[in-house]
A and B are shown apart, each in its own frame.
Chain A
Amino acid sequence: MSNKQLMRGSQVIAEAAIRAGCRFYSGYPITPQNEMTEYMANAMAELSDGTFIQAESEIAAINMVLGASSAGVRSMTSSSSPGMSLKQEGISFLAASELPAVIVNTMRGGPGLGNIAPSQGDYFQATRGGGHGDYRSIVLAPDSGQEEADLTRKAFEYADKYRTPVLILVDGMMGQMMEPVIFPDPIDPLDLPPKPWILDGAKGRPSRIIKSLILDTREMEDHNWKLARKYENIAREITTAESYLTEDANMVVIAYGTAARIAKGAIKRVREMGLKVGLFRPITLYPFPNKALLEMSRVVKHFLVFEMSTGQMIEDVKLSLEGRGNVHFYGRPGGIISTPDEISKEISSIYYRQNLEEE
């Protein structure tokens, strides 16, 4: 019998979180990700050691996660774009206090209230820290139901290992789409390694403090550099990207999440036409897979960045390429979902304009 289950993306992430040993979730209703909150409400209710709280606000939800995380439990909250703006205060405090947490952003059209259609407009907010101060969050961008399950497991591992907030960045399409998924085996939270820094009452040990206030400027500087070194380690250890049909490619599309799924369809089409085009798909958006991209620029001279925004990841692409190669851009913001046909036309138009068929 197959272990495959057909599930909606939002529910896949929720189920994968439970299986990763997440036992604390607080959230606030917002479309298009309510299925995740509702799934967590029901799943936690069935667990003897699970807590679900429908918070009074996004701000309260993230701060409840901060408290729960300081008490040692694997903790999660989720939202969509406007709600993520409100959570940034707490994410900055989590990063500063070196507390693990997993935060899911199912992006929708923006800015402002925008709409509830799929978008990738929160790339900057996610990958640049988002809140105030000198910090980054790990950002994972799955492009399928299966990868949502796998990366959710990883998100909790990374959060605990590096003691830092981890964002899972998807969009309304990834959240709503139903796909078959094989889940990893569930983890019993009691089997997770103990955390020697949690606050559970100073019994038989000195009292502990979890805080972010560092008034002494030299100590603050030390803390900033400590975080920076942590981000360097993270970049060395977890940076991931998928390369698809890039071996012989003389043009590479760069896209993540839903946009990458669409781009794959487009690449299959243009391959049938004989165009040597591949896909580079960052899976970690922070840390960005800059080295792999720079390496690729030794042979590939034309890159097409495709985003469901007016162009945000393109800045990381240009930084990674250090001026090598030509970077083209195609974007559809506002909740528009391009078709593979539309992207294949964009690819072939650049391909022929640049005379790449002659290479």
Chain B
Amino acid sequence: MKQIFQKPKYLKDAVFHYCPGCGHSIIHRLVAEVIEELDIAEKTIGVPPAGCAVLAYDYFDLDMCEAPHGRGAAVATGIKRTLPDRIVFSYQGDGDIAAIGTAETIHAANRGENITIIFVNNSCYGMTGGQMAPTTLLGQNSSTTPGGRDSLRDGSPIDLSEMLAITKGSVYIERTSVNSPKNIRKTKKAIKKAFKVQMAGLGFSLVEVLSPCPTNWKLSPVDACKWIDESIAKTYPMKVIKDEAGNID
């Protein structure tokens, strides 16, 4: 019998705790595949967040240092500056990176820290039960925006990736999604490029991944994937936001 599919080498034999239809499992897999393909596992240190992916260290078979909520970029900075020849990535949700960790993220990008951030945008605080995130769409229901997000009351969705692109130190920023096989392949390509930017010592790289949250969106997994195209991608278009690395293959 021929084996045609297997678990990535750098994911542990652990069952994901993520909800059915959640994007984290796919994104974890893509990161693990990229690390295996680039053969960098033995020199990689990951920084998981507080949020749904808080247990990422139970899944990645890599050295992992938990960061306080929002501080991923600061913790990653400390590791990377101490061990400049290692590969350091943080894995953060939208509340973690774009609300409580905004300052750490913007200044890490502005310093041109040679780190990679995987920014998972599911437009809500998933772990805590679906409260409004900085990325929640206008009109989107959440447990803290009765009647939907109202720009006058709640502010508007924040374009963190675009803000980071303005900083001089950021090199590569792309927004993708994992809502279709095609987009999953694109996401993997983007994650690979982000790590390559770091390996080449070029500076700050980030991939924002639009990720389905069927549980808090109260949609079926299939409808959640559709909703990304129909709604989220209208506010957060999938595209290369900044690329000063060019072709680094």
Q: CB within 8 Å of B: which residues of A?
A: 23-24, 26, 51, 53, 55-57, 59-61, 63-73, 75, 89-90, 93, 97, 199-204, 207-213
- Assess whether A201 is in contact with B45, with CB atoms less than 8 Å apart: yes
- Assess whether A66 is in contact with B45, with CB atoms less than 8 Å apart: no
- Which chain B residues numbered 129 to 182 have a C-beta less than 8 Å away from chain A? none
Q: Is B57 an interface residue (CB 8 A)?
A: yes
- A24, A61, A66 — which one has the most chain B CB atoms within 10 A of its CB? A66
- Assess whether B65 is in contact with A67, with CB atoms less than 8 Å apart: yes
Beyond the given pairs A201-B43, A201-B86, 18 more chain A to chain B contacts, judged by CB atoms under 8 angstroms and listed by A's residue number, are A24-B81, A51-B81, A53-B111, A56-B104, A60-B71, A63-B74, A64-B77, A66-B67, A66-B71, A67-B67, A67-B76, A68-B81, A72-B82, A93-B66, A199-B45, A199-B64, A202-B61, A211-B65
Decide yes or no: A210 and B65 within 8 Å by CB, A75-B78, A199-B45, A202-B42 being known contacts. yes
Instruction: Supply 15 A–B pairs (Cβ within 8 Å), ascending by A.
Output: A24-B78, A66-B74, A67-B74, A67-B77, A67-B78, A67-B82, A68-B79, A199-B65, A199-B79, A201-B42, A201-B45, A203-B43, A211-B57, A211-B64, A213-B55
- Which chain B residues numbered 59 to 96 have a C-beta less than 8 Å away from chain A? 60-68, 71, 74-83, 86-87
Residues of A within 8 A of B80 (CB): 67
Decide yes or no: A201 and B71 within 8 Å by CB, A64-B78, A209-B57 being known contacts. no
- A26, A199, A204, A212 — which one has the most chain B CB atoms within 10 A of its CB? A199
Q: Select which of B54, B75, B82 is within 8 A of A213 by beta carbon.
A: B54
Residues of B within 8 A of A68 (CB): 78-79, 81-82
A-B contact count (CB 8 A): 132
Q: Is B41 an interface residue (CB 8 A)?
A: yes
Sorted from nearest, which 8 A-B pairs have the closest CB atoms? A67-B78, A68-B78, A63-B74, A211-B66, A67-B75, A203-B42, A56-B107, A71-B82
Query: B64 → chain A, closest Cβ, in Å?
Result: 5
CA distance A275 to B60 in the complex (A): 69
Q: Determine the residue in chain A with the shortest Cβ distance to B87.
A: A201
Query: B182 → chain A, closest Cβ, in Å?
Result: 32
Chain B interface bracket (under 10, 10 to 19, 20 to 34, 35 or more): 35 or more
Q: Determine the residue in chain A with the shortest Cβ distance to B63.
A: A199
Q: Is B245 an interface residue (CB 8 A)?
A: no
- Assess whether B103 is in contact with A56, with CB atoms less than 8 Å apart: yes
Binary interface profile of B, 180-204, with partner A (CB < 8 Å = 1, else 0)? 0000000000000000000000000
